[in-house]
Amino acid sequence: MRDLTDGTITEAVVSTVRDAKDPRLGAILEALVRHVHDFVRETGLTEEEWARGVDFLTRTGQQCTPTRQEFILLSDVLGVTMLVDALGNRRAAGSTQNSVLGPFFRDDRPALPDGADISEGLPGTPLFFEGLVTDVHGKPVADAQVDVWHSDADGHYDVDVPGLADPAMRALLRTGGDGGFRFRSIRPAAYPIPDDGPVGELMRATGRSVMRPAHLHLRITAPGFQRVTTMLFPSDDAYLDRDPVFGVKQSLVADYSGHPAGTGPYGTATDEPYTLLRHTFVLEPGRSAHDPLRS
């Protein structure tokens, strides 16, 4: 392996990695080397551009903390997160589709009873949610775990609301014997992905919007079914067609219907106009895939 040239170096490097003890690792490294070398050849990458790329990746790593994962955010905005999900979780038409988990899921969410108000009194348009979880034949799935989390009316998650010590706008709920679950909260708003780091630079350099359309996150887990990690977007949101993380699917665009003040669903009085959202989640049989990475 001496006197390698641009014509021989790729095979030389491949020969050093393809026989890794773990054959899958060998295959992945071989493909990685081939693709990276082809990328360098195709773009004619200069030394200066290579150095800028190294600097970008270095700063991406430096931006990471226990609560900020800039590499996953980079994966999100390059469409890699949704591509990996699409390959690993092919769902039949009619079954609920996945979307990104995002960085705001928390394990320490409160387990709350059916119909609970999860808004912790934060201001915003009241939102009533009525969900139904079924199998692919329409049979209700009882006792499914339903995680819900979302932003407030200014687009902030509880962790970013000043002065808020306890979890809010998030809960762990369970479906009843009829497969149903309900909660009350406030209507979420669109918000920007974290854009004060290298990923934000990339977004500005490419003229891309950093705004995610408003959404509710839901993650549904039930024994014997594939876990669904998903979101529901209001059909009138201005950002649906430029989601920076490519998470919008037409089947996840929902009717957040407006209603005048009065008695809301399941008998709850509200003296303000409110939003009502009803959705059926269809789970496919199987085992839960690997827990999606968090950004």
Spatial CB neighbours of 236, under 8 Å, sequence gap ≥ 6: 256
Cα 100 to Cα 76, 249, 294: the distances in Å are 8, 11, 8
The minimum distance between CB 255 and Fe ion, in angstroms, equals: 20
74 is a contact residue toward ligand BEZ (CB under 6 A): no
239 is a contact residue toward ligand BEZ (CB under 6 A): no
For ligand BEZ, the closer of residues 73 and 282 by Cβ is 73
For Fe ion, the closer of residues 179 and 244 by Cβ is 244
CB contact at 8 A, 133 and 222: yes
Q: How far apart are CA 16 and CA 36, in angstroms?
A: 15
Which spans of this chain sit near Fe ion (rule: CB under 5 A)? 102
Pick from 63, 91, 104, 275: which binds ligand BEZ (CB under 6 A)?
A: 104
The minimum distance between CB 245 and ligand BEZ, in angstroms, equals: 4
The minimum distance between CB 104 and Fe ion, in angstroms, equals: 6
Cα 35 to Cα 10, 30, 183: the distances in Å are 10, 9, 48
What SS3 state is found at 206? coil
230 is a contact residue toward ligand BEZ (CB under 6 A): no
CB contact at 8 A, 143 and 197: no
- Using the contact rule CB under 6 A, the part of the chain among 31-39, 96-104, 167-175, 233-241 near ligand BEZ is 96-104
Structure tokens at 153: 């009316």
Nearest-CB residue for ligand BEZ: 102
For Fe ion, the closer of residues 38 and 160 by Cβ is 160
Cα 252 to Cα 1, 105, 234, 275, 279: the distances in Å are 54, 19, 9, 17, 9
245 is a contact residue toward ligand BEZ (CB under 6 A): yes
Binding site for ligand BEZ (CB under 6 A): 73, 76, 100, 102-104, 193, 212, 245, 295
